[in-house]
């Protein structure tokens, strides 16, 4: 490192250099309880100053509100950041529980225009398909995404929650720069088929929820009892009742290892993702989400933490012992199609 900024890596084959840790912006608008807008905006600036350049949003976060929220930051720093957003999860204003998955070209062509307008920019650096609808041929969807690259609306393409086979199929239609999937001490499905495919194809992995949505930090144990009403984690099988109790106990080695390093559990969890990727020979840019500058600085400092082989071995069994699925409904995840 030449200054106090985090190191950089190439995003996809021949893509831009980005900070080795990105920032997930989802929680700034929805899912994780009330947000203080000023401190969220300060966090964005703190991130950029620390060398974080990949900023992650999606059209579905807050039904467009997260993209709108990011627009002033994007406008102020357009050439300094790599802006990623996503399409495919359809929601309805009048039905908060509705979730559909849309991959058809007409939907994609409209979605990109809506995102560009909300982000107040003329180009999206990395455009992801957020979820896969197996009823639509992948070549058709990726073909429509590739047209957006040709039209200059999008620079690079990404996929989220796809299998290794799907990643290969898509990559044959147009180069895929990034795969965004859940990857953490608690969630390692991705290592089955997607990680080997990403290594083979030169695709960067962007691990989402690397802190297990905050659970791995020890910030809460039982979401139903400790988090505010409406917090999405209350509906996730891993974070309530007996599962939460079982899963919190699994964090004991994480806390012990953190104490030895004078680090936090969050930092151990983030260092684990980076070092696990090295084992696979894979480039990763994890995107932990936070709305607080202090946590942002704590998280980027984890890029300098190195765990020993013995510590990694103690963390190895955790994922296999986790109680409960990642989502209440796993049908649209890659795990359901493997």
Ligand X SMILES: NC(=O)c1ccc[n+]([C@@H]2O[C@H](COP(=O)([O-])OP(=O)(O)OC[C@H]3O[C@@H](n4cnc5c(N)ncnc54)[C@H](OP(=O)(O)O)[C@@H]3O)[C@@H](O)[C@H]2O)c1
Q: Is residue 42 within 8 Å of residue 293, measured between CB atoms?
A: yes
- The answer to whether 212 contacts ligand X (rule: CB under 6 A) is yes
Residue choice 132, 171, 291, 326 for contact with ligand X (CB under 6 A):
291
- The answer to whether 162 contacts ligand X (rule: CB under 6 A) is no
Q: Where in 44-73 is the site for ligand X (CB under 6 A)?
A: 56
DSSP 284: B
Q: Which of 61, 107, 127, 128 is catalytic?
A: 61
Distance from the first to the final alpha carbon of the chain: 40
- The answer to whether 219 contacts ligand X (rule: CB under 6 A) is yes
DSSP 213: G
Q: Where in 222-261 is the site for ligand X (CB under 6 A)?
A: none
Dist. CA 148–CA 251, nearest whole Å: 44
Q: Where in 105-134 is the site for ligand X (CB under 6 A)?
A: 130
- The answer to whether 12 contacts ligand X (rule: CB under 6 A) is no
For ligand X, what does the binding mask look like between residues 19 and 38, x meaning CB under 6 A?
-----xxxx----x------
State both tokens at 31.
């899912």
Residue 182 in 3-state DSSP? strand
Query: Known catalytic residue: 61?
Result: yes
Q: Where in 79-108 is the site for ligand X (CB under 6 A)?
A: none
Residue choice 81, 129, 177, 266 for contact with ligand X (CB under 6 A):
266
Q: Provide CB contacts within 8 A for 264, sequence distance 6+.
A: 217, 258, 298
DSSP bridge partners of 128: 86, 158
- From start to end of 130-182, where are the E strands? 154-160, 178-182
Q: Provide CB contacts within 8 A for 128, sequence distance 6+.
A: 58, 84, 85, 86, 87, 157, 158, 159, 160, 178, 180
Least Å distance between CB 254 and ligand X? Answer: 12
Closer to ligand X by Cβ: residue 89 or 151: 89
How wide is the angle at C-alpha 86 spanned by C-alphas 334 and 326, nearest 5°? 35
Closer to ligand X by Cβ: residue 16 or 62: 62
Residue choice 288, 303, 315, 335 for contact with ligand X (CB under 6 A):
288
Residue nearest to ligand X (CB): 24
| Binding residue count for ligand X, defined by CB under 6 A | 30
Residue choice 15, 164, 214, 324 for contact with ligand X (CB under 6 A):
214
For ligand X, what does the binding mask look like between residues 174 and 203, x meaning CB under 6 A?
------x-----------------------
Q: How big, in percent rounded to 5, are the helix, strand and coil portions of the chain?
A: 45, 15, 40
- Name the residues annotated as catalytic: 61
Chain positions contacting ligand X, by CB under 6 A? 24-27, 32, 56, 130, 160-161, 180, 208-214, 217, 219, 264, 266, 287-292, 295, 298-299
């Amino acid at each position: 490192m030449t200054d106090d900024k985090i190191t950089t890596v190439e995003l996809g084959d021949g893509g831009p250099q980005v900070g080795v840790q990105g920032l997930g912006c989802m929680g700034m608008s929805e899912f994780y309880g009330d947000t203080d807008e000023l401190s969220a905006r300060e966090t964005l600036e703190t991130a950029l100053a620390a060398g974080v350049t990949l900023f992650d949003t999606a059209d579905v976060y807050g039904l467009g509100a997260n993209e709108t929220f990011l627009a002033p930051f994007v406008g102020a720093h357009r050439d300094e950041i790599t802006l990623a957003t996503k399409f495919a999860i359809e929601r309805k204003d009048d039905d908060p529980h509705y979730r559909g998955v849309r991959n058809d070209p007409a939907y994609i062509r409209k979605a990109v225009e809506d995102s560009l307008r909300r982000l107040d920019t003329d180009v999206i650096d990395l455009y992801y398909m957020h979820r896969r609808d197996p009823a639509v041929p992948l070549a058709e969807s990726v073909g429509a995404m590739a047209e957006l690259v040709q039209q200059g609306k999008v620079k690079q393409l990404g996929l989220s929650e796809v299998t290794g086979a799907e990643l290969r199929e898509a990559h044959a239609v147009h180069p895929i720069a990034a795969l965004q999937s859940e990857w953490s001490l608690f969630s390692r499905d991705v290592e089955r088929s997607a990680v080997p495919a990403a290594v083979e194809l030169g695709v960067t992995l962007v691990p989402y929820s690397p802190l297990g949505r905050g659970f791995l930090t020890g910030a809460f144990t039982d979401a139903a009892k400790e988090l505010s009403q409406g917090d999405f984690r209350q509906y996730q099988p891993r974070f309530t009742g007996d599962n939460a109790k079982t899963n919190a106990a699994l964090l004991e080695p994480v806390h012990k290892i953190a104490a030895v390093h004078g680090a936090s559990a969050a930092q151990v969890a983030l260092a684990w993702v980076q070092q696990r990727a090295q084992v696979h020979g894979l480039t990763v840019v994890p995107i932990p989400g936070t709305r607080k500058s202090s946590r942002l600085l704590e998280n980027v400092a984890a890029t300098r933490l190195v765990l020993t082989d013995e510590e990694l071995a103690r963390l190895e069994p955790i994922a296999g012992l986790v109680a409960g699925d990642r989502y209440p409904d796993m049908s649209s995840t890659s795990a359901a199609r493997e």
